[in-house]
A = this chain, B = another copy of it.
Amino acid sequence: MQEDDASEAGRKWRGVSRPQRDAARRHRLLEAGVELFGTQGYAATTVQGLCRQAGVSSRSFYECFSGREEVLETIYLEATRGIERRVMALDIAAGDTAYEIIRRGVQAGVGPMLEDERLGLVLEIEAVGVSPELETRRRQMIAGIARAMDAMMLELIRRGLVPESPPGLIGLVAVGGMTEALVAHLNTPSAVRMPVPEFVDELARVITRMAGG
């Protein structure tokens, strides 16, 4: 019983404080999650596998997460929030064409998953249908992105870059279409894959057409 006084959590261990060590372990576990979920799949990944991959003991694991599922949820949430932020942060410079604007949006949306395909598979395949909770969040996230898309479309209309048209399902169809194309791309042997910039071009082209541009 000597933890109540001074130093609190300030004592260092191998140079780093307790919260720093915790954060590092947590980070390694999340990275392990991306690696294993993204290669073996969620179903085939065990807690022990995550621990081995991350170099963390199962005891420490349960100090960070309540279980496998929470690791996946955390990965999903952090990654998609980052993507959402990037999409929201797009500044639609005046003077651009509809295609240019949409292409930047597409790049922001699928870019991170093209750069790290493990992440793409985790977010678009492994995270599907895992639990009602995650499913709810996924649905909210998709709806949010679809709304952002619709907003972008309205902005394009306002600027006269595309003709007026009833709102409807465009945002949703665009999001679903992008992810389907993305997954197909990731599942294509890299030898015969379309180059990434070209892929994004093509995707932007289809969506622009859908918007009426």
Contact = CB atoms under 8 A, between A and B. Distances in A.
A61 interface: no
Interface stretch (A19-27, A49-57, A97-105, A174-182): A174-182
Given A43-B129, A130-B43, A132-B41, A173 B169 contact: no
Nearest to A40: B132
Interface of A: 41-43, 125-132, 135, 139, 142-143, 146, 165, 168-170, 172-181, 183-184, 187, 202-203, 205-207, 209-212
A128 B128 contact: yes
Contacts of A210: 173, 206, 209-210
Contacts of A128: 125, 128-129
Contact of A129 (B41, B139, B202, B206): B41
